A and B are shown apart, each in its own frame.
Chain A
Amino acid sequence: MTLFTPRTEIEAARLVADLALTKKPVTIQGGATRAGLGRPNQTEATISTNRLTGITLHEPAELVISAKAGTPVAEVAAALDAKGQMLPFEPMDHRAIFGTTGEPTIGGVVAGNHSGPRRIQAGACRDSLIGVRLVNGRGEAVKSGGRVMKNVTGLDLAKLVTGSYGTLGLLTEVTFKVLPRPERALTLLIKNLDDARAVAALSAALGSPFEPSGAAHLPAGLSRPIPRTILRLEGFSVSLEYRIGQLRRLLADFGELIVLEGEDSRGLWRGVRDCEFLAEPTESALWRVSTAPTRAPQVTAAVAAAVPGARWFYDWGGGLVWLSLPPTADAGAATVRAAVASAGGHATLVRAPREIRAMVDVFQPLGPLTRVTGGIKTSFDPAGILEPGRMYAGM
């Protein structure tokens, strides 16, 4: 296994071109904190982005930041924080569930389209991403998008490569639009709702004019004995006071609203964002299911009926379900896939032992989209050297 650490995009492009000539498959690595994502693949070489680092542009008045792919997320966050700004989509940090220790990189965030609780209000990573530079499997440096907020020039390859786990190219630089950090943030907590009632409460709040920026439900037994339904409000202080009052009225039927602020509030959302509640036991399998919110309780009920010991919680108003299942032979794949097939949506096996991830579909099977997906992969990487098999077997 050879490790390459290019210092520039030109160097990276030359490297990939060489690997393509000799058809050497390659793994792409940022901080390696999320190396457990996807199907395990065998490659002869690894390209690390750990020397492709640094913020290349930050114009606070224009709400835009660019950084080389290997830049630690923490560095980007700190630069924004210093100007009272933030990444709108609240990227998940996978270290809690993988027990890894390195520094997550900004390129890794884009490679997995990792978004947190604020996704329901401010969009996903792909929505904030306004430009990328990458090296495709031919060793060509390619750019898409740019540094401006609105841009419809040509095909949007920036979105296409977001969430492609390195299979379409080695990201070298990414550009985001950012938002001002809210003046104040707080959590509204309702106790003791069952899943269906909780999702109904979250739907009512999300369908109100009061703009929650987080909407999650933690069933009983996740670090507290009772179920907790939580909403996050962010904005100017005066406005929050008003919205608390309105939501109290709107959600009166669901129970008392308790206001949490400061670390009590922040800690909860960090827990939701990083799936901390299901990090233990470390050997359990973790699934991430995206579905329409009102159908999420039906997914968890179907899984619970078939798999003793299943645990879960909901984010995105119910639309995102994190499921923890005992590490059985298929990590519950058959059950989860069947439940999602009937509810609509998709499921990803986020954490499971290597052998299981090699055997079951980790990402949602593509069905009729297999042909175009394969075609796109080939159009970027005709020699098939970039992370082969990482997302789909034989692709």
Chain B
Amino acid sequence: MSPNIFSIPETMIGFLIGFKPCDDPLVYACPNACDQNDAGTRETPNMTTIAFPAPDAGIIARRDEIVAGLAKLVAGEALITAEDELRPYESDALTAFRKVPLAVVLPSTTEEVAAVLRYCSAQGVPVIPRGSGTSLVGGATPQEDAVVIGVSKMNRILEIDYANRAARVQAGVTNLAITGAVMADGFFYAPDPSSQLACSIGGNIAMNSGGAHCLKYGVTTNNILGLKLVLHDGEIVEIGGDHLDMPGYDLLGLLIGSEGQLGIVTEATVRILRAAEGARPVLFGFPKPELAGAAVAAIIGAGIIPVAMEYMDKMAIAICEDFAKAGYPMDAEALLIIEVEGSEQEMDDQLVRIIEIAKKHGVTTIRESKSAMETAAIWKGRKSAFGATGKIADYICMDGTIPTGQLPYVLGRIDALVTRYGLRVANVFHAGDGNLHPLVLYDINDPVERQKAEDCGLDILRLCVEVGGCLTGEHGVGVEKRDLMPVQFGKADLDQQMRVRAVFDPAWLLNPAKVFPLEGRVAA
């Protein structure tokens, strides 16, 4: 099986997922994706409200010595130390934060990762694990006194086992490459983040990423069987395997979503599933957001769980239609993309039920995809929502989850908030599971508006928690939501998480500025 059938030039990635590299404020931060001279125009001060710890002057002073030590551990081309070559690693897709790291190492084997981690640990040097750098929350943002360990060169598919429905892959393989490797045989890897062309399975594991089709198939944590993990001191451990449910404490569950704080994942055994015989997305346009929300609840209430139920508001419809020409209803105030799958007859049967419900909720447009090309266009529009938005304005992408019953109420409150700040918002979200992605639009060159957008975004997340939801449904905490953690958790909750963290990283060297507020950190 060729591991490379989905590999494409990195310069193309941004474009394919809906960005034009470099003219986009939320530029796709993969190495070499754009001409760095251009980056100057995007240079902006760091978000004022979120602090990084002061770089350790002792480490900076020992830079040459540390680089020399690293050079002994990996092949020459795996070590990046020149200022201009470090630039592409200064941020992830949350480009508001930029820090040039001390060095970047791109190992090719688990043993190399282990050697580098062991060395950094012994030297007391912070380490930032990195996959493809598509994190939207600054999960992979480096710091001046840290070594970035990137797994992008470890991008092979090692084993495909159809009878046991499992594939073993290296951590740097892209999400879509896994599906690409098994697609010809009718299989796929289920979680499908919109960034799937670029993001790595290691990054997906670190963030517990989701996607449009997670309503039926679950998120990353429901689809991983085993991991190979390098601990902070260089020890290599296997967690789980190619069987179900690991023995002992559920370390898989703990590791997935731990945002690079507990170790570096170098391999994963993922579940692969047989694809349905067919899939058909249908567009439902509604005259009011509340009606779309009520239709979602009624569909679930009728015992139907479609593979996907995606919501877009009027602004998002306009932006995405302009980009993808997918035939989205421009006159609708709210759009649902509902996908059903199965045989033709099964799809027809489900659609009859869904359409009947939609009609009871005042649906004004119903359009079924009639061809593979239409289906592709419909999903292209949805999956490039962020990129397409980036073409018309700068934006901050939020990612809270709310109880689905609160949808109409929360949409109203978001509207009011955004109006109060004098901003605009485009709403896209995974309606079936209440995972909201309000895109708060602003002008990055206007510092006042920029601050307003940040404040507005954080207010939206506080609102999610207030109605019984959470700060992040799939993008992670990173630096962006770090200081909001006490809004959702009490001291005992956070202390317990940090004590568990400290078991894996007693000196807080792994991705240390993320997830937990800088104040009040505890040891094991």
Q: How far is the CB of B167 from chain A (nearest CB, A)?
A: 12
The answer on a CB contact under 8 Å between A203 and B164 is yes
B405 touches which one: A62, A120, A123, A140 (CB < 8 A)?
Answer: A62
Instruction: Determine the interface band of chain A, counting residues with CB < 8 A from chain B.
Output: 35 or more
Which chain A residue lies CB-closest to B342?
Answer: A239
**In the bound complex, how far is the Cα of B253 from the Cα of A48, in angstroms?**
27
Q: How far is the CB of B257 from chain A (nearest CB, A)?
A: 5
Per-residue 0/1 for A153-173: is the Cβ within 8 Å of any B Cβ (1 yes, 0 no)? 111111110111000100000
Q: How far is the CB of A393 from chain B (nearest CB, A)?
A: 13
The answer on a CB contact under 8 Å between B403 and A345 is no
**In the bound complex, how far is the Cα of B503 from the Cα of A294, in angstroms?**
36
**In the bound complex, how far is the Cα of B244 from the Cα of A115, in angstroms?**
11
The answer on a CB contact under 8 Å between A375 and B503 is yes
The answer on a CB contact under 8 Å between A61 and B208 is no
Which chain B residue lies CB-closest to A164?
Answer: B249
User: Which of B210, B248, B497 is packed against the most chain A CB atoms within 10 Å?
Assistant: B248
Interface membership of A378, Cβ < 8 A:
yes
Contacting residues, chain B, for A159 (C-beta < 8 A): 221, 250, 252-254
Per-residue 0/1 for A209-221: is the Cβ within 8 Å of any B Cβ (1 yes, 0 no)? 1000000000000
Per-residue 0/1 for B460-503: is the Cβ within 8 Å of any A Cβ (1 yes, 0 no)? 00000000111111111100010001001110111111011111
The answer on a CB contact under 8 Å between A242 and B434 is no
Q: Which of B432-447 contact A (CB under 8 A)?
A: 432-435
User: Which of A63, A150, A158, A168 is packed against the most chain B CB atoms within 10 Å?
Assistant: A150
Contacting residues, chain A, for B244 (C-beta < 8 A): 119-120, 124, 290, 316, 319-320
Interface membership of A59, Cβ < 8 A:
yes
Q: How far is the CB of B252 from chain A (nearest CB, A)?
A: 8
Q: How far is the CB of A391 from chain B (nearest CB, A)?
A: 7
The answer on a CB contact under 8 Å between A376 and B249 is yes
Contacting residues, chain A, for B277 (C-beta < 8 A): 209
Indicate whether A152 sits within 8 Å of B476 (C-beta atoms), given known contacts A142-B492, A319-B243, A379-B500.
yes
**In the bound complex, how far is the Cα of B305 from the Cα of A182, in angstroms?**
11
The answer on a CB contact under 8 Å between A293 and B163 is yes
**In the bound complex, how far is the Cα of B345 from the Cα of A345, in angstroms?**
40
Number of interface residues of B (CB under 8 A): 95
Indicate whether A148 sits within 8 Å of B434 (C-beta atoms), given known contacts A154-B489, A164-B249.
yes
The answer on a CB contact under 8 Å between B300 and A163 is no
Q: How far is the CB of B412 from chain A (nearest CB, A)?
A: 18
The answer on a CB contact under 8 Å between B472 and A152 is yes
**Stretch of B22-30, B145-153, B234-242, B388-396 at the chain-chain interface:** B234-242
Q: Which of B217-232 contact A (CB under 8 A)?
A: 218-219, 221-222, 231
The answer on a CB contact under 8 Å between B303 and A180 is yes
A148 touches which one: B222, B248, B403 (CB < 8 A)?
Answer: B403
**In the bound complex, how far is the Cα of B401 from the Cα of A175, in angstroms?**
16
Interface membership of A364, Cβ < 8 A:
yes
Interface membership of B326, Cβ < 8 A:
no
Interface membership of B430, Cβ < 8 A:
yes
The answer on a CB contact under 8 Å between A375 and B488 is no
Interface membership of A380, Cβ < 8 A:
yes
A113 touches which one: B218, B245, B257 (CB < 8 A)?
Answer: B245
Contacting residues, chain A, for B250 (C-beta < 8 A): 113, 126, 159-160, 162-164
Q: How far is the CB of B223 from chain A (nearest CB, A)?
A: 9
Residues of B within 8 A of A (CB): 161-166, 186-187, 207-208, 210, 214, 218-219, 221-222, 231, 235, 237-239, 241-254, 256-258, 274-277, 297-298, 300-305, 342-343, 345-346, 349-350, 401-405, 430, 432-435, 468-477, 481, 485, 488-490, 492-497, 499-504, 515, 524
A-B contact pairs, 13 of them (CB 8 A): A140-B495, A142-B492, A148-B469, A149-B432, A155-B497, A156-B208, A207-B162, A239-B349, A293-B164, A294-B163, A344-B242, A372-B503, A379-B496
Give 8 closest A-B pairs by Cβ, nearest first. A159-B253, A180-B303, A375-B503, A149-B433, A364-B247, A346-B247, A150-B473, A379-B499
Interface contacts beyond A152-B475, A236-B349, A369-B248: sample of 8 additional A-B pairs, CB < 8 Å, sorted by A:
A113-B250, A126-B250, A157-B496, A168-B249, A203-B163, A246-B343, A292-B164, A294-B164
Residues of A within 8 A of B (CB): 59-64, 84, 113, 115, 119-120, 123-124, 126-127, 136, 140-144, 146-160, 162-164, 168, 179-183, 200, 203, 206-209, 236, 238-239, 242, 246, 290-294, 316, 319-320, 344-346, 348, 363-364, 366, 368-369, 372-373, 375-376, 378-380, 391
